[in-house]
Amino acid sequence: MPEQERLATLTRILRDLLGDDTIELTMRTTRQDVPDWDSFCYVNFIVAVEAEFRIKFRIADIESFSTVGTIVKAIDTEQTR
């Protein structure tokens, strides 16, 4: 699946979680860029992404995702594993 499609999926998940339809994620977005994207919402987001793509991240990775882009790449790695 191309990058853009994944970004769109992640954007939809986060919009649902935060109830904010103006959110637009890019590969460079960080958590600080999105208002109210706190640790709790982040965990919900991660689990929703795991369910959507039928993968499971390693806990050490979850902490070190610095941008949305690193999450998109991690989805690739996990799916090919």
Partner 1 sequence: MLFNSYIFIFGFLPVTLGGFYVLGSRRREWALLWLAAASLLFYAWWRPLNVLLIAPSILINYGISRFLERNAQPRPGLARVALVAGIVFNLCFLGYFKYLTFGEQALNDLFGTSFILTQVVLPLGISFITFQKIAFLLDVHAGRVTHFTFREYALFVLFFPQLIAGPIVHYREMMPQFKAVSCRFDAENMSVGLTLFFFGLAKKLILADPLSSMVGTPYDQAASGVPPTIINAWIAALGFTLQIYFDFSGYCDMALGLARFFGIKLPVNFNSPLKARSIIDFWSRWHVTLTRFLTAYLYVPMTLAMTRRRMASGKPIRSARDMGASAFITVLAMPTILTMLVSGVWHGAGYTFLLWGLLHGVLLCINHAWRLIRPRIWRNTASYNRRVAPIAFLLTFISVVFAMAMFRAPSVGTAVVLWKGMIGGYGATLPQAILSRLGPIAGWLQALGVQPAWTSGSLLLTATARILVLLFIALALPNTLELLAAYEPAIGIKPAKAPGFLLGLTVWQPNRAWAVGLAGIALAGVLSLGGLHEFIYWQF
Helix axes 68-80, 39-53, angle to 10 degrees: 30
Of 1-9, 57-65, 68-76: span binding partner 1 (CB under 8 A): 57-65
- Site membership for partner 1, residue 38 (CB under 8 A): yes
- Site membership for partner 1, residue 76 (CB under 8 A): no
Inter-residue contact 42 to 34 (CB < 8 Å): no
Judged by CB, which is closer to partner 1: 24, or 36? 36
Judged by CB, which is closer to partner 1: 6, or 57? 57
Q: How far is CA 36 from CA 10, 20, 61, in A?
A: 16, 10, 22
